[in-house]
Structure 1
């Protein structure tokens, strides 16, 4: 367990946005565990209710995760922060969903911490949140981020004024530490 996760997030509410299928399991589970271990209340939200089918390595079906509500039923004002995991298919579905894109955009506009890893930053691109920002992602998103006006860098984790991004599952320990720290600063 990382040392940063001992920070107090009691009273903080965090939305985790997932697609009905295709979200990378470890990129959902490890940050959710870090946030709850730090004391945050975490709601898993999706575009549909029921359960979401996660994946391992973008290909293999993993476990299903209970959805706590749909994105269209909530508002950015209900949450202190947001985490958007990757998974190529899941991230692509979220960036195509108007409610998910609007939710992320509102969180950024409200100055609330938003964390995203791997392919998750596609939703940040769609929301218009990367212009003038420095961030990282899975390397294949570099052109998308630069075309949206962001500065893409190849670093383990990058924080830019509440926006926390990371590249891949191997970076999850550093990402989780930074996400918890950023939320603790803001709440």
Structure 2
């Protein structure tokens, strides 16, 4: 069974954190909600979130690890040396890592974006360019960099596209669920 971990930190953008959990569970993907350093996380909009576990080397056993954004949440993820070590190992192992909104800042600090394509919340790419001048920014809604095993997305409104893209990259069929959730209809309207 496909397994995905979503890593939550205080100040995370709730819609970016919970949309991948919701969509992927609907698709039959096993999703674990992982707290950065505790089981009780407070989202950026004061929504309390209950985790199943905290970060550990067990993150190496997942098909993908997902970072939601939110400026404070992303900063908290970025500053974790333990998480940085795990994520570097995952990339070296050719495992998928995903981040959206401000969370690519954590990937930038970890060195995961070096020489790879990414997208992020508008303006964040300028910060990333200072620390990772070889990272290649794209304004696309979601970006898949196969060489770096990276999936990135722009921000709150792109959370569903991000979730479906992660599932697709992991080989999970999404067409029926996109129809069931009216996502296909929404794409036609945009």
Pairwise TM-score range, normalised by the shorter structure? 0.7 to 0.9
2:20 and 2:143 map into 1 onto residues whose CA distance is 16
Alignment of 1:114-133 (within 5 A): 114-133=97-116
Contact 1:15/1:81, CA 8 A, preserved across alignment: yes
How is 1:10-159 mapped onto 2 (pairs within 5 angstroms)? 11-19=1-9, 21-55=10-44, 60-61=45-46, 63-71=47-55, 73-147=56-130, 148=132, 149-159=134-144
Give per-residue Cα distances to partners, 1:46-71, cap 9 Å, x unaligned: 2322211112xxxx31x211122221
Cα-to-partner distance string for 1:63-104 (whole Å, 9 max, x where unaligned): 211122221x33343211111000100100110011122222
Name the residue aligned to 2:187.
none
Question: Which residue in 2 is equivalent to 1:173?
Answer: 160
Residue pair 1:50, 1:66 contacting (<8 A) in 2 also: yes
Structure 2: distance between partners of 1:30 and 1:151: 26
Does the alignment pair 1:163 with 2:150? yes
- Show structure 1 runs of 5+ residues with no match: 1-10
Q: Which residue of 1 aligns with 2:175?
A: none
Alignment deviations for residues 33-54 of structure 1 (CA, whole Å, 9 cap, x no partner): 1111111111111232221111
Query: Structure 2 stretches of 5 or more lacking a match?
Result: 173-190
TM-score normalised by length of structure 1: 0.84
Q: Distance between the aligned counterparts of 1:163 and 1:34, measured in 2?
A: 19
How many residue pairs get matched?
168
- Cα distance in 2 for partners of 1:77, 1:47 equals 15
Normalising by the residue count of structure 2, what TM-score does the alignment of the two structures yield?
A: 0.82
1:160: Cα distance to partner? Answer: 0.5
Q: Tell me which structure has the larger Cα radius of gyration.
A: 2
